[in-house]
Structure 1
Amino acid sequence: MLYLAKIYMDTDLDEAEDWIEKAVKANLNDAQAYYVRGAIMGRQASGSIFSALSYAEKSVNSFTKAVELQPDSIKYRKGLMQFHTGAPSIAGGDLDIAKVQMEKIRLLDPKAGLEAEINYELSQDNDALADALLQQAKQTYKDIPDFFLQAGMLHQQKENYQAAFEELTMAISKKAETEESVVAKYNALYQLGRTAVLGEININAGIKALHEFIDEGPDMDGLAPKPWAEFRLANLMALNSQTLEAKTIYLRLAKTDNKELAKQAKKAAKRI
């Protein structure tokens, strides 16, 4: 049931909600089930107008329960912190609780704590402080991809695509010896391709990065879905005058269960 809920998260949130409710009822002490429920309900809240507050309450209650059941989980505390920094107070967001989670994460793992602090400052639009912390993090943890990915994503959000590409290129050159760093490295490959699409730059390098992500990316939580990577790859092929290859991918993705991806693929196919 939990497995099915995670599968449907990317294609059908209502179906995912049905399965996660069954998973939680089947085991009231499963921290992972509550964490996934928090993520699903959070997405439902973002996409709903009339039920947003109800979904937000279910989301925060689920993340809180996951932390109660497994207090040493950095992942679950990150989920709870992200809810409280992202949700308005009317929907249950509480910056004091977010700060508590940040400190708890720091005690569990200094690196994760620094990452949490950067994310907190970014959520409050304290970009200068976040950037200073990020520069410090890249020096302290210069041998791993994690903070170079974060720097690349920050540049990408600001539409500084060449700077983003450079940071992400650094990220994929680093060693990845922990599960978190493996996820960071492969996400950097995906984001290299996405940055190439957004900025229409470094097309060949973007194509190479996406091929590597699609061919070698492990089946791990936290990685971008491979069908979306294929969509970005087709975008780059279209920019690279590889129209036949691009259209073939678009037409295949147009039949996927992911409604948003199918919609985007159909539109893209018509443009070629």
Structure 2
Amino acid sequence: MRRLTLLVFLFPFFVFSQLSIVDSAQSLIDKKQYKQAEQLLKTELSKDQENLELIEKLGDVYGHQKKWDDAIVYYEKLKVARPGVANYHYKYGGALGMKALGVSKFKALMYIGDIKKSFIKAIELEPDHIDAHWALIEYYVQIPGIVGGSKRKAIECANHLQKISAVDGFLAKGYIYEYKDDPELAEVNYKMAIKVGGSLNCFQKLTDLYENKTKEPEKAIANIEAAQKKHERNALHYQIGKVCADYNIQLDKGIYCLKEYIDNYTVADGVPVEWAYLRLAQIYRLKENKVKATEWVNKALAKKASFKQAKEEKALIQTL
């Protein structure tokens, strides 16, 4: 009885200790201190080599470092130890896929079968595993048809995904059609994703289509403005200014938006403020206002003296 009491007392301590190690490792990962996280986890695993949480986290650390061979080793240990866990098969297949991208096409063929099997197994074990559905769609889209790639199968997978998550289904179809050079159907599906979900990611996919695929900057700006109206994010001011500068359109709107970005800037906005200075310099150069253009490019260089793009812009301004 006394021994049982002692075990009951000590059990929460052991659980807390294990969770603390995993949490500490995740904290290091969040700070991109991957080497420190790796060392911490390897030290703990040397004491408890069968601890699946530590094994999974170490696999994740190797993935962050793009050490795919090491990640594959640890994820394979997981799926062998617990073959009924969908996420282990998904992570193993994902690591194999990333490994395949970094080798020759001939060597990549060695991994294709196991990649597909892993994603299918994950979905069989957990039909609602959205990431596994996305991974299988990516597989069918990017793999050449001669070795199993298929637009038809990708669309079938997207239809299954849509039953689980309507917005993911539309985003997946948009991605498939965009990749397969059918921008009109891609646009339709991205618009449906915005209607159903309306997240910033949905708006961004449509903006990227307009900017990178169909080269329709006016539509891109209108879409970003719709996103701004819904989400009120300062970063979207920069995005509008960037499109205006890149395509030499709606320059006054670009100036207004970039100044709004600068006035409300915080590190959380993502794009460093010197990039907004640079975009303003670009716009004023396009307006042939050498004084203003020089003023803003100098601000960019004062903020970051090694700013290569700002140096290039200054050279262009000096030709006015």
For Structure 1 versus Structure 2, the TM-score category normalised by the shorter chain is: 0.5 to 0.7
How many residues align? The count is 228
Equivalent residue letter for 1:21: E
| Equivalent position of 2:163 in the other structure | 107
Q: Which residue of 1 aligns with 2:179?
A: 123
Aligned match for 2:116, one of 39, 42, 60? 60
Tell me the C-alpha RMSD between the 2 structures.
4.2
Q: Which runs of 5+ in 1 are unaligned?
A: 177-184, 215-231, 251-266
Decide whether aligned partners of structure 1 residues 47 and 212 sit closer, same or farther in structure 2, where only a CA change above 3 A counts: same
Q: Which has the higher contact order (CA 8 A, sep 6+)?
A: 1
Which of 51, 67, 71 is equivalent to 1:16? 71
| Aligned partners of 2:168 and 2:193 also within 8 Å | no
1:69-218 aligned within 5 A: 69-138=125-194, 140-141=195-196, 143-158=198-213, 163-164=219-220, 166-168=222-224, 170-171=226-227, 173-174=229-230, 192=239, 199=246, 211-214=267-270
Equivalent residues of 2:97, 2:115 under 8 A apart: yes
Is 1:242 the counterpart of 2:297? The answer is: no
Runs of 4+ in 1 over 4 A off after TM superposition: 159-163, 200-210
In structure 2, give the amino acid aligned to 1:64.
Answer: I
Aligned partner (choices 52, 60, 82) of residue 6 of structure 1: 60
Shift of 1:57: 2.5
Q: Give the TM-score of the pair, scaled to structure 2.
A: 0.55
Q: Distance in 2 between matches of 1:75 and 1:155?
A: 26
- The higher radius of gyration belongs to 2
* Amino acid aligned to 1:33: Y
Percent identity of paired positions between Structure 1 and Structure 2: 22
Output the TM-score relative to the length of structure 1. Answer: 0.64
Give yes or no for the alignment of 1:41 onto 2:96.
yes
One-letter amino acid of the counterpart of residue 32, structure 1: N
Distance 1:162 1:205 in 2: 20
State the AA in 1 paired with 2:275.
Answer: L
SS of residue in 1 equivalent to 2:272: helix
* CA separation of 1:59 and 1:174: change in aligned 2, threshold 3 A: farther
Higher helix fraction: Structure 1 or Structure 2?
A: 2
Name the SS of the counterpart of 1:5 in structure 2: helix
